[in-house]
Structure 1
Amino acid sequence: MVAFEAVTKRFGGSGGQPGFTALDGIDFSVPRGAITGIIGRSGAGKSTLIRLVNGLERVSSGRVLVDGVEVGGLSETALRDLRRRVGMIFQHFNLLSSRTAFDNVALPLEIAGLDARAIREKVAPLLDLVGLGDKANSYPSELSGGQKQRVGIARALATSPKLLLSDEATSALDPETTHSILELLKRINAELGLTVLLITHEMEVVKTIATDVAVIDRGRIVEAGRTFDIFTMPRHETTRALLSSSLGVKLPEWVRSGLQPQPLAGGRVMVRLIFFGETAFQPLTARLVSEIGPGVNIMAGTIDEIAGEPFGSLVVSYASDPAVLERAARFYAETGLTTEVLGYVA
């Protein structure tokens, strides 16, 4: 649906100065019908990336294609037509305070030249879709933050887009309202077959809604793939840092500070066990104890859901005696259990 091909975007630069490179050689595709999240730290290039999709910014080099059409090669007229097929919702809603909810949703249809009857036939069902059929005549000042965002979503859908862009759309909302907006976006994606591309710094948002994810750092895509795969086995240090506070288990500082990279005589190894797929529903911890002996301590654990799939994480410790480590390694290989050695303690 959307493809970035060797995309670079620079700002400024004159008199021989190179300026600032916001995006540097981006190669990345957004699957049709998927909900794809772009995550990264502030200033990583997320907003610039999404603004290239609807032509609010132009590439310095490379190509951005939407449904096979190169955005950078469009005339102003063709670009306006593209924007009618690409909806966008914003962090701060961008509603007109002087217009009712109905009139805010109707605005893009008025610009497109539809008559009053066609507008009514389009807007009323959209307000019903987002759960605001009874708020048609309310002004933004009379609506809650979540209701304002629902109006923004309905407005973005008014021109029947095939692609919906979300720029930190839940960042200004409380957790309960965020959840309801995410559920709405998931339902719209499923019912309308809409491709959704969202940027956010909230890992919980991506974990809840996105089927695919890309991690951007200093203008480069450093990791991309299925959300479940990226979240359960992050490979890049930036991804691990972003996920550190939102996924898996956290050990107390006194435990973490005592971990050593090499085995200690008479010490113990600390191992993170990762459960997903078939292993999520098997009594593997009990079998581990049976295999290597009763000296297994459970240090911490959690169970979660990522993109609709179960995921569990358990930290255990046991003797780092070579014979015990060999039995444990054999058990992990036989069961297919994913593990990560966190370190060794006395």
Structure 2
Amino acid sequence: MTLAVASNPHTSTSHSMVAFEGVTKQFGGRDGQSTFTALDGVDLTVPKGAITGIIGRSGAGKSTLIRLVNGLELPSTGKVLVDDVDVAGLSDAGLRTLRRSIGMIFQHFNLLASRTVYDNIALPLEIAGLDRAAIKARVAPLMDLVGLGDKAGRYPAELSGGQKQRVGIARALATEPKLLLSDEATSALDPETTQSILDLLKTINRDLDLTVLLITHEMEVVKAIASHVAVIDKGRIVENGRTFDVFTQPQHATTQAMLAGLTGSKLPIWITSRLHDSQQGAERVYVRLIFFGATSEQPLVSGLINELGVEVNILAGTIDEIAGEPYGALVVSYPATADILARAEQFFARTGLKTEVLGYGA
């Protein structure tokens, strides 16, 4: 059997799989009068066929956001559209149909201990009323896809955490969804297992053309696989866009704080302790050079040294990849004389090298 993604021929011109339009979600207080606003005026689009990450601290509103997508919660105001369908406007039957088109994987796997790997994956198909032959035709290739073809008769207690999550992923794919929701799906896994699960999600996204919306507080997860990202803070989307753009040029303080150290933005204390904001009387300027796109493959550091004709000290640096694109950052220092500062600015403007003055010091 060939695995396929469910599609809707009437919405093929749409470029978004999920759209939040002015969404607010409030919960009533214990006294029946006071309310808590979990989401506050959210506008967000999840592109079709992409992996989009929603990142935020605990309590920011991430889980509420994802529960609105499959109708487990309904918005207090605004609309949640899934493939152009207003979730809140669906009947009970329509909601059941929608949920079959949305797969869900969880942090703690949610497997049934009394059922084998095969039977856990088959469960949503049994609920949907498929016969045994149809279920087998669907489950067998899914077990191969997630690397569990030899584990059909095993029980969850016999599996590792990574294997349990693979069962959860296969079960989520059983109904041939067009959208996969991941709620902190790697938070309970060790780093090596996390990477294997992320690789699997990338494969599923690519081979099945499946839209993935993942909720996480782990910046490394988003950096590794998400093409798009939205940052949520206190119920508001404070920043969103291409992962590479947001991670390399974060604008909001929440994003900057969460990214500290991930993309070379956090400086060693021995550097920060000697920095101040005033150029007056300073011997050296401390600058972060950021390399990506065309500048990532050019010998710009040696070019800077030749341009300035002075010693340029390299103090810290990182080379990385963000959403499949190369990225590098170096912290350098050089003399803070007016002539050298002017020549450096001309060099940066001419080469397109992005820079950030971190401060001045001895």
TM-score normalised over the length of structure 2:
0.94
SS of alignment partner, residue 150 of structure 2: helix
Give 1:71's aligned residue: 87
| Alignment equivalent of 2:175, drawn from 156, 159, 162 | 159
Check whether the contact 1:249–1:300 (CA below 8 A) recurs between aligned residues. no
Check whether the contact 2:259–2:265 (CA below 8 A) recurs between aligned residues. no
1: distance between equivalents of 2:264 and 2:87? 40
1: distance between equivalents of 2:175 and 2:266? 46
2: distance between equivalents of 1:340 and 1:76? 54
1: distance between equivalents of 2:180 and 2:344? 48
| Alignment equivalent of 1:207, drawn from 220, 223, 231 | 223
Worse-superposed segment, 35-44 or 246-255: 246-255
Q: Does 1:241 align with 2:224?
A: no
Structure 1 unaligned runs (5+)? none
CA shift digits 1:108-145 (9 cap, x unpaired): 00000001111011101100110000000000000000
| Alignment equivalent of 1:86, drawn from 91, 96, 102 | 102
Alpha carbon RMSD of aligned pairs, Å? Answer: 1.1
Check whether the contact 1:2–1:66 (CA below 8 A) recurs between aligned residues. yes
2: distance between equivalents of 1:19 and 1:52? 18
Q: Does 1:197 align with 2:207?
A: no
Give 2:122's aligned residue: 106
CA shift digits 1:69-107 (9 cap, x unpaired): 000111111111100000000000000000000000000
CA shift digits 1:219-241 (9 cap, x unpaired): 00010000011111111111010
Structure 2 unaligned runs (5+)? 1-16
SS of alignment partner, residue 213 of structure 1: strand
Give runs of aligned pairs for residues 280-291 of structure 1, distance below 5 A. Answer: 280-291=296-307
Pairwise CA distance, 1:150 = 0.2
Output the amino acid matched with 1:230: V
2: distance between equivalents of 1:55 and 1:172? 25
Give 1:127's aligned residue: 143
Pairwise CA distance, 1:250 = 3.6
1: distance between equivalents of 2:112 and 2:301? 57
Q: Does 1:31 align with 2:47?
A: yes
Worse-superposed segment, 216-225 or 250-259: 250-259
Count residues in correspondence: 346
Pairwise CA distance, 1:302 = 1.1
Give the 3 Å change call, closer, same or farther, for CA 266–248 of structure 1 in structure 2: closer
Check whether the contact 1:249–1:301 (CA below 8 A) recurs between aligned residues. no
Pairwise CA distance, 1:294 = 2.2
Give 1:253's aligned residue: 269
| Alignment equivalent of 1:149, drawn from 147, 150, 165 | 165
Give 1:44's aligned residue: 60
Report the identity percentage: 71
Q: Does 1:186 align with 2:211?
A: no
Pairwise CA distance, 1:295 = 2.2
2: distance between equivalents of 1:14 and 1:124? 48
Check whether the contact 1:298–1:316 (CA below 8 A) recurs between aligned residues. yes
2: distance between equivalents of 1:230 and 1:221? 13
Give 1:305's aligned residue: 321
